[in-house]
């Protein structure tokens, strides 16, 4: 192997190792099994950006008996507003409205959105 290739390989390994060593370690999940997001709050765009349960379902209405429109396949999403609906395992009746990962709009029960309390922040009601 040429000196140039060895040098490039060593530099690549150092860069990768340094990046891994200085990168933020993943946060431990809370005892409840919820994933931890870097943030949970309403940004300047007016949307709530927060962690959520992967595969959380989005419903047509704020009710488990309404049709399912899709799901959230990532663990961090945005929500444009909240509204009251059926009570759920989160102990309240708050549901969040969002664009699901399949391009459909749907209502997600607050139990699946990792907010400290519901409704969270200054997110508007819809």
**Average pLDDT over the chain, rounded to an integer:** 80
- Asked whether the predicted pLDDT for residue 81 surpasses 60, the reply is yes
In this model, does residue 95 exceed pLDDT 70?
Answer: yes
DSSP 3-30: HHHHHHHHHHHHHHHHHHHHSPPPPPPP
Integer Cα distance of 119 and 87 in angstroms: 13
Out of 33-37, 48-52, 61-65, 97-101, which region has the weakest mean confidence (pLDDT)? 33-37
pLDDT of amino acid 38:
59
Cα→Cα distances 29→16, 35, 37, 103, Å? 26, 5, 9, 28
- Give tens-digit pLDDT for 36-62: 445 899 999 999 999 999 999 999 999
Query: What is the distance between the alpha carbons of residues 109 and 48, in angstroms, rounded to a whole number?
Result: 14
pLDDT at 31 over 60: no
Tell me the chain's radius of gyration from C-alpha atoms: 20
111: helix, strand or coil: helix
**pTM for the complete prediction?**
0.71
What whole-number percentage of the chain has pLDDT above 70? 70
């Amino acid at each position: 192997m040429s000196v140039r290739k060895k040098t490039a390989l060593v530099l690549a390994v150092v860069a990768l190792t340094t990046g891994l060593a200085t990168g933020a370690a993943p946060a431990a999940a809370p005892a409840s099994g919820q994933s931890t997001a870097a943030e949970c709050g309403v940004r300047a765009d007016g949307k709530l950006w927060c962690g959520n349960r992967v595969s959380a379902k989005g419903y047509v209405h704020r009710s488990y008996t309404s049709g399912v429109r899709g799901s959230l396949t990532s663990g961090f999403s945005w929500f444009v507003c909240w509204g009251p609906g059926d009570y759920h395992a989160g102990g309240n009746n708050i549901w969040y409205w969002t664009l699901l990962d399949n391009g459909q709009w749907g209502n997600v029960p607050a139990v699946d959105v990792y907010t400290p309390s519901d409704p969270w922040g200054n997110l508007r009601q819809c």
